[in-house]
Structure 1
Amino acid sequence: MELVIAGSLLLLTVILLAIKKPWHNPARRAEGLLLLKGLRQLLEHLQQHRGLSTGYLGGDHSLKLKVDQTQAAIRADLSNLDASSLACHDRWEAFTDHWSRLERSALSLPVNDNIKQHNQLIANMLQLIEDIAAQYNLLFVTHPGDGVGTLWRELLYTTEWLGQARALGTGIAAAGQSTGVERIRLGFLCERIQALSSIAHTDLKGHNQSGLRSLQEAGQTVSMLLSVIETEFLSAAAPKLAATAYFEQATKAISAQFAVVDEMLTGLQDRV
C-alpha cells in the first residue's frame, strides 16, 4: 500500500513538473513573442488590404498602387514569419490557403464579397494570435489585473472593428453613395468600437502608467473618427469626403491602437 502511495506521489510530481516547466522557459516565451510581433504586423497589413481593395472596387482606381504595395508588404510579412513554428496550427494552414486565393481574386470580387472574405480571413488570424499566446504561455506572464490580458481581447478586436469601419467607409466614399443597409452596418460598427475601446482604454489606463501617452492618443483618434463617420456617412447618403482622405483618417485611429499593442508587447518582452 505504501509503495502504491509513493508511486502515486511520484507520478503526481512528474505531472506537475511537466505542466510547470513551460511556464518557466524564457527561451520558449521569447520565441512565441517573436511570432506574435510578426502576426501583429501581418494583421495590420491585412486590414489595410481590405480597406484599399474595397475602395478600389467602389470606384477609386487611384488606390491600385497602394493595393499592390500592401500585397508586397504581406508577402514580406509571410516571408519573415517562422512558418515551421506555425505549421502545426490548422488555423495557419487555413489562413495561407485562403489568402493565396483572395490575393488573386480580391480586385475582381463584388464589394460585399471582398469585405466578407477579408473579415473571415482576419477573424481566423485573431484566433491564431490568441492560440499562439496560449501555446507559448504569454497570456499570464504578468500579474493578474495588470491589463496585459486586454491586449489579446478588447484592444486587438478594437483594431478589427475599426478596420471594418475603414473598409466599409472607404468603399462608400469611393462610390459616392451608400445604402440604408451599409449605414446600419456602419452604425453597428461604431457602437462596437465605442464599447470595446472604452473597456480596453479604461482597463489599461488603470494598470499601465507608462502607456498613458499612447492611450490618450488612441482615445482621441477614435473619437475623431467616430465624429467623421457620423457626419459623413450616418447623417447623409452621399458623403463628400474622398475615399483616400477617409482611409487616412481611419488609419490614424487604427495605428494609434496598434501603438498601444506594441507597447504592451514590449512590456511582455521585458518580463520574459
Structure 2
Amino acid sequence: MKFFLILISLLYSLEAKSLFTNNEQKDRSKYIGALKNLVIATQKTRGLTNSFLNGNTVAQLLVYSNRQDMKAAIGDMETLQFSADPVINKRATFISQELISLNSKAFKKNSSKVFDEYTELIAQTMMLAQSVAKRGVDKLNPIGRELTSIMMETMLPLTEYVGQLRGLGSGIAAKGSISKGEKDKLVAILLQMKPLSEKFESQMSHVVSKYNKEFGNESIESDVAKTMTLIKEYMSYSKTNFIESKQEVDPDNYFDSGTQIITSIVKIYDVNNKVIESDSQGWF
C-alpha cells in the first residue's frame, strides 16, 4: 500500500513538472527580468530628468542613480545566452548605445525634446520585448509562452503609459503650467491606458484561472485588483488636475504615486516570471 502511495505521489509530481529542464525558457526568464529592469530605470530617468529640467532641482541626484540602474540592466542582458540571438543582439546593442549617448546630453536639451527622445528609445525597447516574446517561442513550455506574451506585450507597455503620465505630469507640476501640446499628450496617454489596463486585468484573470496550481499561494488576483484601482485613481486625478482645470500639484508626490502603480505592476510581473522560471525546472 505504501508503495502505491509513493507511486501516485511521484506520478502527480511528474504531471506538474517536466522530466528535463527547459534551459531555453530558464534563460529567457532571466532575460525578461533584466529587460524589465532596463525599462523601469529608463522610465524613471526620463520622468526625473523632465521634472529637473522644469525646475525641480531635488530630482537631479535621483537621475544619476537611475542611470546607473540602466547600465546595470544592460550589463545583465549582455551576459545571458539569449542575447546571442542575432535579432535580439542587434536591437539591444542599438538601444544601449543610444541610451548612453542620450544620458550624456540630456541636461543640455529642451525638456520636451529630451522627454520625447527617451520615449522613442523606450518604444524601441518595447519592440525588443515583442521580439523576445516571439523569437524561438516553440522552445517554450505552454505556460512560458503565454506568460511571456502577457509580460512583453501588455504589462511592459502598461508600465510605459503610466511612466509617460508620471513623467509628463511631474514636469507640468514642477513648472506650474501646461501647454496645449502637453495637454494633448496627456489626453492621448489616458486614451491608451484605459483599454490596455483592462486587457491586463482580463489576461491575468484568464491565466491565473488556467494555471491556478502553478501560481500556488500567490495573492495574484488581489494584487491585480489593487493595481487596477490605483490606475483608475491616477488617471482620474490626472484628468481633473491637469486637463479639466489646472490645480497646484506637488511634483514629487505625483511622481511617487505613478511609481507606486508601476511597482504594483512589476510585483505581478515578477510573480509571472517566477512561475516561468519554476516551470522550466525539470527533474533532470
Tell me which moved more, 103-112 or 80-89.
Answer: 80-89
CA contact (8 A) 2:155 2:269 kept: yes
How much has 1:76 moved relative to structure 2?
A: 2.2
Aligned position for 2:49: 53
Aligned position for 1:80: 76
Aligned position for 2:28: 32
**Letter aligned with residue 226 of structure 2:** E
- Residue 247 (structure 2) pairs with residue 251 (structure 1): no
Mapping for residues 111-126 of structure 1, pairs under 5 Å: 111-126=111-126
CA contact (8 A) 2:158 2:193 kept: yes
Report the aligned-residue RMSD.
Answer: 2.2
**Letter aligned with residue 130 of structure 2:** E
Greater RCO (Cα-Cα under 8 Å, separation 6 or more): 2
Aligned position for 1:17: none
CA contact (8 A) 2:22 2:140 kept: no
Change (3 A) 1:98 1:202: same
Change (3 A) 1:129 1:111: same
Aligned position for 1:214: 223
For 2:172 and 2:164, locate their aligned partners in 1 and report how far apart those are by CA, in whole Å.
Answer: 12
Tell me which moved more, 204-213 or 45-54.
Answer: 204-213
**Letter aligned with residue 199 of structure 2:** I
Q: Structure 2: any 5+ residue segments left out of the alignment?
A: 1-19, 210-214
For residues 115-159 of structure 1, the C-alpha deviation after alignment (integer angstroms, 9 at most, x for no partner) is 111111111111212223333538953259966532221222111
For 1:61 and 1:161, locate their aligned partners in 2 and report how far apart those are by CA, in whole Å.
Answer: 24
Change (3 A) 1:74 1:153: same
Change (3 A) 1:134 1:146: closer
Aligned position for 1:96: 96
CA contact (8 A) 1:139 1:148 kept: no
Secondary structure of the residue aligned to 2:149 is helix
Normalised TM-score (structure 2): 0.80
* Alignment size in residue pairs: 248
How much has 1:168 moved relative to structure 2?
A: 0.8
Among 215, 220, 225, the residue aligned to 2:234: 225
- Residue 270 (structure 2) pairs with residue 262 (structure 1): yes
**Letter aligned with residue 92 of structure 2:** W
- Residue 190 (structure 2) pairs with residue 190 (structure 1): yes
Aligned position for 1:175: 175
Secondary structure of the residue aligned to 1:178 is coil
Aligned position for 1:9: none
How much has 1:181 moved relative to structure 2?
A: 2.0
**Letter aligned with residue 120 of structure 1:** E
How much has 1:208 moved relative to structure 2?
A: 0.8
Aligned position for 1:21: none
For 1:194 and 1:128, locate their aligned partners in 2 and report how far apart those are by CA, in whole Å.
Answer: 23
How much has 1:186 moved relative to structure 2?
A: 0.4
CA contact (8 A) 2:173 2:249 kept: yes
Among 40, 45, 66, the residue aligned to 1:44: 40
